[in-house]
Chains A and B, each alone.
Chain A
């Protein structure tokens, strides 16, 4: 039996004279919500999981792989972590169309087939030839998520994917996410400050406040208590 947790992290982060200590654990594949007010260090933790920010101490393990560990000196660079990262402002490459963006991290030999398959699975075929600037906010988020999923990451990291959208677009994207995205990655880590979102999408929730993790458990349980 596999006893390795799907994701486990315990990171100490310093930035701009402040520090944060966040922990989280997912025993099984699913969606982990990092929930808390802005300034609680959610984005920074996400960046640490991606390997874009180096924690001052702690460890990050994903499946059986150690991605970061100060005790043993392991620091896996972002390009070798097999993580998909979607920052708050999607960062779609403006000089590539949707297909080019989605296929960006896929080796050339399999790129076309992978992109075709993924666009079909994620219901994005109609957008294939569009330029990022011509897409709505919700469409940009979908394409950015598709791009992050294309190389087949173990871990998908989403930073407030719904926050820049109006209510209708938010509801639509949430339904799309539940229907299409969750099955694509082993573990999804979703950063949000929206309780409704956390409840409906999370399998497990980490509540962060004032630079530390204060509670962890099933979303209904943790949010019910707070």
Chain B
């Protein structure tokens, strides 16, 4: 069972880190996309949302091309430090974050676009600049959507399989997250272990759905 314990702990760490990183980035992208129309606006939307539509293996392939030992960013990093994030904990986290980003941007951008502009106008007349207005008006008004986005990001991150397989592999004791362990247990014919893992993942996911639904349904205030 220690293998299951490791996988659970790894998955939780990966999902928490991915959520913590992707939430502020996603909120900022959502803010920019909701606030301004600029050349390339549609391109940014497309790139951010692609992982939602592409097969995860394709997203994973792109990540390998970007971060792999011979990748666009990975090659210079490897030359400089001799290290690569391929097949490491960090590969799991980066992949999970990439897959969670579109959910965060979608959820929060919608909330930002629905805000009544009066609040920001009042803040401006009260002396607040754009940054203070973002922090003291937009974020608190949209906080429910932001928390919901965080919950969804966590859920997506903890369930990530295909892209993780590409960038992080399935290295026992290192990158074998829960979903990968389910696959391994199934392949090995270890039904008992598969059952436990599946049950654990189902419970976590169900809790996430309940929390996200509650947040989405309560009124703002």
Contact = CB atoms under 8 A, between A and B. Distances in A.
Interface of A: 50-52, 77-85, 87, 89, 91, 93-95, 104-105, 131, 133, 147-148, 150-151, 157
Nearest to B132: A79
Contact of A89 (B118, B125, B126, B127): B118
Interface string B85-129: 000000000000000000000000000000010110111111111
B121 A133 contact: no
Given A95-B141, A95-B221, A133-B221, A79 B118 contact: no
Contact of A52 (B125, B126, B136, B141): B125
Given A85-B122, A95-B221, A105 B127 contact: yes
Contacts of B128: 79, 105
Contact of B121 (A85, A131, A150, A151): A85
B128 to A, nearest CB: 6
B221 A87 contact: no
Given A87-B118, A131-B221, A133-B221, A93 B137 contact: yes
Interface of B: 116, 118-119, 121-129, 136-137, 140-141, 143, 220-221
B119 A147 contact: no
Contacts of A77: 124
A85 B125 contact: yes
Contacts of B129: 79
A83 B221 contact: no
B221 A94 contact: yes
17 contacts: A51-B124, A51-B125, A52-B121, A78-B124, A79-B124, A79-B127, A80-B127, A87-B121, A91-B116, A91-B122, A93-B119, A93-B137, A94-B141, A94-B221, A104-B136, A105-B128, A147-B122
Contacts of B221: 94-95, 131, 133
A131 B220 CA distance: 13
Given A89-B118, A91-B118, A94-B221, 7 more contacts: A52-B124, A79-B124, A81-B125, A83-B125, A87-B122, A94-B220, A95-B143
Contacts of B136: 104
Contacts of A91: 116, 118-119, 121-122
Contacts of B116: 91
Contacts of A51: 124-125
B125 to A, nearest CB: 4
